[in-house]
Amino acid sequence: MAIQKILRIGEPSLLEKSSPITEFNSAWLDALVQNLWDTMAAHRGAGLAAPQIGVNRRIVVFGFEHNERYPDAPEIPLTVLINPQIELLGEAMDEQWEGCLSVPDMRAKVPRYRQIRYRGLNAQGEAFSREVEGFHARVVQHECDHLDGVLYPQRVRDLRTLGFREDLERSGQLETQPCDD
């Protein structure tokens, strides 16, 4: 296990645009992928982007089969996504609660596109694409935003929804299981 420190909002490098991955089948990339999985698992996250552990390269990991933090969320295959591109499949958006391991203990309602197609490379450098919707689409948009230096508070439409998870839950505003990364 190589659990890494997760950078938090206020750290300037989280706002940088990350550069593509160009080398595959390397010890460096293997270690980065393992560190992302280990760090995500340690925090029971649904996803993690490399900039969050201080590596400004275009790679994210996400997915879970059953996550106790999101008991009602649909399963998402465990995925390594490198140099991703997102194509919108329609203009429709949904607004749902999100959190982020780089914005600890907080939640807000974030609008995201409902249906997307994403493409990129897996850990072996092989191309793949998927058409997804709903929670899966939300997680991918959240993670890929990190690669462009965007944190979810920048996407919040109504900042009155931003609050501490504990207080949002106690006051009955936070009902659904939020998307965390």
> Residues interacting with Ni ion, by CB under 5 A?
100, 181
User: Cβ distance 121 to 110 under 8 Å?
Assistant: no
Contacts of 155 (CB under 8 A, 6+ apart): 110, 111, 112, 145
Residue among 52, 46, 44 nearest 4 (CA): 52
- 76 forms beta bridges with 64
Q: Name the residue nearer to Ni ion (CB basis): 79 or 181.
A: 181
Shortest Å distance, C-beta 85 to Ni ion: 19
CB of 126 to Ni ion, least distance (A): 26
- Reference 118, options 83, 92, 91; nearest CA is 83
For residue 23, the minimal CB distance to Ni ion (Å) is 25
Output the smallest distance, CB 167 to Ni ion, in A. 20
Alpha-carbon distance of 38 to 36, in angstroms, equals 6
Q: Which is nearer to Ni ion, 82 or 100 (CB)?
A: 100
Q: Compute how many other C-beta atoms are within 10 angstroms of the C-beta atom of residue 10.
A: 9
Vertex 130, ends 125 and 133: CA angle to 5°?
A: 140
> How far is residue 83 from each of residues 11, 12, 69, 107, 168, measured CA to CA in Å?
23, 22, 28, 27, 35
Of 91, 98, 126, 143, the active-site residue reads 143
Respond yes or no: is residue 143 known to be catalytic. yes
9 or 24: CB nearest Ni ion: 9
Nearer to Ni ion, 26 or 163 (CB): 163
Residues assigned a catalytic role: 143
